[in-house]
Amino acid sequence: MAMDKIPMTTHGHQKLKEELARLKTKERPKVVEAIEEARAHGDLSENAEYDAAKEKQGFIEGRIREIQGKLAQAEVIDPTSLSGDRVVFGATVTIFDFEADEEFTYQIVGDDESDIKENKISYASPIARALIGKSIGEEATIRAPKGDRQVEVMDVEFK
């Protein structure tokens, strides 16, 4: 069974690699030290510090495995190497929302990179799904919980 690739931009891939390095070189040794310290306090059955450190260790190890899995499945896409007027993964899209009578700009990125404060939306989001494959000048219907929204693709950039 082939594993599905996880699309991510070069920026998102780099951020995951940095988090993995930090977890392995800083967080993991720190929690091992905390466990050793708590063990030195004697009775582990009523040792809250020990329990907290073991719980944190479990979280860190789980996150390390999760990131390693994502990096192994990563399909890294450099938006600057793309071009054209079609909306694809990695594109920065400017749309005109007819109902809001306003323009919005979003970059379509991987799940781990999405951050609405930075106008980065996941390729799996309703907005991205409605826009992918459209060209400049085309209209799209965004299916949203509050109702459908009509938008027009105004610009597609790769940066």
Tell the residue number behind the tokens 């390390």, with chain if given: 64
Q: Residues with Cβ < 8 Å from 157, sequence gap 6 or more? A: 91, 92, 93, 94
Give yes or no: residues 43 and 99 share one domain. Answer: no
- Give yes or no for residue 4 having a pLDDT over 90: no
- 1: in domain: no
Number of domains the chain is built from: 2
- State whether 84 and 151 are in the same domain: yes
Could you tell me if 143 and 88 lie in one domain? yes
Angle at 28 between CA 23 and CA 32, to 5 degrees: 170
Q: Please give the average per-residue pLDDT across 111-123, as a whole number.
A: 94
CB 35 within 8 Å of CB 54: yes
Q: Confidence band (pLDDT; 50, 70, 90) for 109?
A: very high
Q: What is the pTM of this model?
A: 0.82
Tell me the residue range of the domain where 150 lies. 79-157
107/55 same-domain check: no
CATH number of the domain where residue 64 is located: 1.10.287.180
What's the confidence (pLDDT) of residue 3?
A: 61
Burial of residue 114, with CB atoms counted within 10 A of its CB: 0-12 exposed, 13-18 middle, 19 or more buried: buried
Residue 1 has pLDDT above 50, yes or no: no
Q: What CATH number is given to the structural domain containing 136? A: 3.10.50.30
